[in-house]
A and B are shown apart, each in its own frame.
Chain A
């Protein structure tokens, strides 16, 4: 997670996703759909990922972005959307978690 990515507004995230797509790249969008406890980013927060793993935006302020990117690259290939769960209560499914103790669900989809 770079500084420049964290200060981008929502508008820039979707604009960047469209720009990548028009450049002929494959793109995935990740959106926080639910949060419990002290999650770092609210529902509606978005992250755009291109096929090379570049990203703009944030779904957790850096805690789980690495795992989201990995899944996004899979979803870019399969085309099947998926809801990911992150949080301390779900650590058998995911090695990454939220240090803050919160829990979030992230919907990841390919931009067709």
Chain B
């Protein structure tokens, strides 16, 4: 491997870019691929996208012999809007599944380190916080406040991002009202389908911990391509 290429790889990782190191196992020739940063439709680009999406390195059979695709994904992140009871159950589960978790809630009595010890808390308004946190393709965003004043700005920001998962807590009725508000705000019906609501897989969850499980299960299913994004 060329030292310059390794330096470029490290820089790409520092910038949280999704990058693949492609190595021809016969010649040792290597290059870096950024398959999500272009529309290239070659078999190699597709294989690289798959490897990144499923967090699974792969060997691609090219005309010049096997090419090993090693993946370098930025960390998974979860932004939770609403430092509510369900968040208290969801945060440790997500951390256990290797997500870097940030809980966003401007209401300091909710988003306090007393209620969320050892958790990254952000007391700004959700849209302001998300603006800086800059959700990417490895980010899931979940709104849990039940309060349109807090949830909607977060969802609007989320819909403009590449976040792989967006979910909103609330009943079917609440979700229908939410749709009307977002359409009024200029989003399309297709945009709205990106929001999973009512949030979580339907496992009959009742308690906060059970609801957290259903949310984490849905995020996982989308991440791993088992459910629609």
Contact = CB atoms under 8 A, between A and B. Distances in A.
B23 A14 contact: no
Contacts of A11: 13
Contacts of A107: 23, 25, 68
By size class, the interface of chain A is: 20 to 34
B68 A33 contact: yes
A109 interface: yes
Interface string A57-70: 00000000000000
A88 interface: no
Interface string B61-74: 00000001011100
Contacts of B185: none
B2 interface: yes
Contacts, number: 47
Chain A at the B interface: SS class: mixed
By size class, the interface of chain B is: 10 to 19
Contacts of A81: 25, 28
B220 interface: no
Contact of B1 (A44, A83, A112): A112
B10 interface: yes
Given A111-B1, A112-B1, A44 B6 contact: no
Contact of A17 (B6, B23, B58, B71): B6
A89 B106 CA distance: 60
B142 interface: no
Interface string B42-70: 00000000000000111100000000101
A90 interface: no
A35 to B, nearest CB: 10
A15 interface: yes
Interface of B: 1-3, 6-7, 9-10, 13, 23, 25, 28, 56-59, 68, 70-72
Given A21-B3, A33-B59, A44-B57, 7 more contacts: A10-B72, A31-B68, A33-B68, A81-B25, A83-B25, A107-B25, A109-B23
